Amino acid sequence: MFVRVLIIIVIILVAIVIALTYFGNKMQKKQAESQAQLDAMAQTVSMLIIDKKRLKVKDSGLPAMVIDQVPKYLRRSKMPIVKAKIGPKVMNLVADEKVFELLPVKKEVKVVVSGIYITAIKGARGGIEKPEPKKGFFKRLFHK
């Protein structure tokens, strides 16, 4: 009796592992394709960063077509939105998480843009300042 239950549990676990590897490989291929598309459309652009905030997609000021393409489960989450002046035009762009932290406000910056997505930062007038890592409660407490 005990051996049968153990065999059934092992079979179920093996089936779960096989399913996870299959779907994981499928998602990995999808991500590689989308990364290749981003790299193909990448352009280096000089822009003046007006403002940067984390906003919900519907409050971001992005075009309606872009908002409709965002999956429903991500519509309530906050995204890093950058308001920038590119030439004479003011645009709202979505930034990569790593780039968002480095972008200086009220400065001219050269960035790599793919569509409305800022993927990398090349340089800024006056240099790029790395933000100081935030200290947790206990580090601040024991530092004193």
What is the DSSP secondary-structure string of 1-39? -HHHHHHHHHHHHHHHHHHHHHHHHHHHHHHHHHHHHHH
pLDDT for res 144: 64
The topology (CATH level 3) of 41-124 is OB fold (Dihydrolipoamide Acetyltransferase, E2P) (2.40.50)
User: Which one is predicted more confidently, 75 or 16?
Assistant: 16
Give the domain ranges of the chain: 41-124
pLDDT for res 53: 92
Whole-Å CA distances, 107 to 28, 30, 42, 44, 55:
36, 36, 22, 16, 21
Read off the pLDDT of residues 88-129 as tens digits, 9 standing for 90 and up.
999 999 999 889 988 888 989 999 998 888 998 987 777 777
| Mean pLDDT within 11-18 | 97
| Mean pLDDT within 3-32 | 95
pLDDT for res 110: 93
Read off the pLDDT of residues 38-81 as tens digits, 9 standing for 90 and up.
888 888 999 999 999 999 888 888 888 888 888 888 888 899 99
pLDDT at 86 over 70: yes
